[in-house]
Structure 1
C-alpha cells in the first residue's frame, strides 16, 4: 500500500487534534451524525443512536448501564455506538448530549424533526420538508472540515483539468459543479457513464483534479474512476455522507455532507442533495475568490452570451 494511501486511510473523515487524535464532533452535529451513520449500524446500535439524538437531555442523565437498559442493549453496544459517532467513549458522548440539551433548551439548536407520513396533509409536508432542509444545511455546515475545504479549493483553483463523477441524484450535483466551474473558465467535465469515467480517469495526471460525489460512499461506479485518478497522480476529492463507506481511501480531501431526515417517502439518496449542493457552492465560491481576475471576466462573458441568446429569440 502506498504512503499516500496509508495516510488517507488514517486521516480521512477526521480532523486531527493537537496530538493527532480525532476531535469529537461538536454537540450541534450529533443529530446529523446519527442520521448519516445510523443506516450502516446494527439494529441495536441504531436504537442507542436514535435514543440519544431524540432525547439528549434524558440520555445525558443516564449512566452507560442506564442507557443500555433503556435501549434494551448492552454496555458494550453503547460504547461502540459512541465511538462510531466520533466520541472516544461514553463519557464524551454524555458531555456532548448535555451541551446539546442545553442548547435546545435555550433555543440555539433545533430538536429532531418528525418524519413525513403517508397521510400528512400538504401544508404539513411543506413545513416538515422546509425544516428538514434547513437542518440539513446547518448540519452540513457544522460538520464540514474547513481545512479540507480550503485544500480542495486550492487544488481546483490550480487545476489543469477537473473531472467530476456521480450517478443518480449525485450525478445531478456533479453536473451542477461542472457548469459552475465552466462559467469561471475552468476546464471541467461531468461523467455519469461509468465506462467513460474510468476511461478518462486513467488520462489524469498530477495537476489534474478528480471529484467524486456519493452519499453512501459505496457507489462502485464512482469509486472506481476516483481510484484510477488517485493511482495516476491526480488530486482527488470525495464529497460524501459516509466516509467509512470506502470512497475516502482514494481521496486526498474528504468533504462530509449531511442529509435531511430520511423517511420511507424520502430516502437518503434523495435528501442528500441539499448538503451536497451546499458543498458544491462552497467549492465554487472559494475557487471564484482565488481566481477572481480570471473568474470575473469569464462570468461576465457567460452572462452576456446567454443574454444575447435570449434576446435573439
Structure 2
C-alpha cells in the first residue's frame, strides 16, 4: 500500500527538523526544495546529493514517518505531482529589505494562506475532538503562555468567557503556578508554546497534570518537553523565519487558527447556553459604543 503525507511536506519538515541531527536536516531540506527531482533518486544518489550517508537518508525517511525508502519515493512522487497540478505562479514569502509594499502585502498573504493550510492538514482531529469535549464539560480552564503565545492564550480565554465558561489566561508565571495547584479532575489546563520548551509554561502544565486536570499542549514541536505533561497535543505549523518576520510573529497565525477551532467546537457543544451568552455580550458591547453626534 502506498503511504501518503499526512500533512504538506514543507510543514512536516519544519515541525520535525528541530529534533533531527544536522545531517538529517540537510536531507530534509533538499527534499523539501526539490521533491520531484529527489523522487527520481536512489538512496545512494540522494546521499551523494546531500553530502550525507545512505544510513542518514534512511533515518531521515523513517523520522518523516515512512517504513522504507521505496515507500518514501512513491509518496514523494505523488506529492510532487500534486504540487505541479495545483501550483500557480506566486511570489516567495521571503521579504527583502528593498521590496515595494505591494510585494510585501502579496508575500505575507501567500505565507498566511500556506500557514493556515499546513496547520489544518496537520491537525489531529481526534485530539481536537477530545480537547473540545474536555473544555465543554470543564469547571474551569486555565491557559498558560508567554510572549507571542500569550496573545493566543488571551484570545482563547476571552472567547470562552463570552460563551459562559470560566477561563483565565495567565502571563504572570508566579500566578500561573499558584493557581495550577487549585485545579482538579473537572478542570482543563492549556499550554501554548511555539517551541514546546518554555520552562515556566511547562512547569504550570506539569503541576496541573499532577493535580488531575486534563492537560492540552498547543505547540509546533511534537515530542517537545511540554508534550510530556499533556494528555492531548494540538500541533501548530512551525513557521518559516526570516530577518524581517521572526517566527514569533508568523507562529501566531497557526496558534489563532487552533484557538478558533477549539472555540467553535466548544460553542457547538454548548450551543444552548453559548448562544444566549454571546447575544448578551454583544448587546452589552453595543450599548458601550460611542454614537455619532447629531448636528
Q: How has the CA–CA distance of structure 1 residues 97 and 121 changed in structure 2, closer, same or farther, with 3 Å as cutoff?
A: same
- Structure 1 residue 308: deviation in Å? 1.0
Q: Secondary structure at the match of 2:287?
A: helix
User: What's the counterpart of residue 139 of structure 1?
Assistant: 118
For the 8 Å contact 1:104–1:110, the answer to whether it is kept is no
- What secondary structure sits across from 2:174 in the alignment? helix
User: Could you list the runs of 5+ residues in structure 2 that have no partner in the other structure?
Assistant: none
Other-structure match for 2:256: 277
**1:54-93 correspondence to structure 2 within 5 Å:** 54-93=33-72
2:104 match:
125
Contact 2:24/2:60 (<8 A) preserved: yes
Deviation larger for 265-274 or 152-161: 265-274
1:14 matched residue in structure 2 = none
- Which range is displaced more, 118-127 or 277-286? 118-127
Q: CA RMSD in A?
A: 2.1
CA distance in 1, matches of 2:291, 2:99: 46
Q: Does 1:47 align with 2:29?
A: no
Provide the C-alpha distance between the structure 1 equivalents of 2:79 and 2:12, rounded to a whole number of angstroms. 13
- Tell me the residue number matched to 2:236: 257
Aligned twin of 2:76: 97
- Give the 3-state SS of the residue equivalent to 2:75 in structure 1: helix
* Higher Cα Rg, which structure: 2
1:231 — aligned with what? 210
Query: Corresponding residue for 2:142?
Result: 163
- CA contact under 8 A between 1:164 and 1:191: conserved in structure 2? yes
Return the alpha-carbon distance in structure 2 between the equivalents of residues 95 and 113 of structure 1: 27
**TM-score (normalised: structure 1):** 0.87
Give yes or no for the alignment of 1:185 onto 2:164: yes
CA deviation vs aligned residue, 1:164-222 (integer Å, no higher than 9, x gap)? 00000000000000000000000000001111111111110001000000111111111
The separation in 1 between residues aligned to 2:196 and 2:137, in whole angstroms, is: 26
Residue deviations 1:66-102 (CA, integer Å, cap 9, x gap): 1111111111221222222233333332222111101
TM-score (norm 2): 0.92
Aligned positions, number: 291
C-alpha spacing 1:55/1:112, structure 2 compared with 1 (3 Å):
farther
- Please give the secondary structure, in 2, of the residue aligned with 1:228: helix
- Secondary structure (helix, strand or coil) at the match of 1:255 reads strand
The separation in 1 between residues aligned to 2:61 and 2:91, in whole angstroms, is: 18
Distance 1:83 1:172 in 2: 36
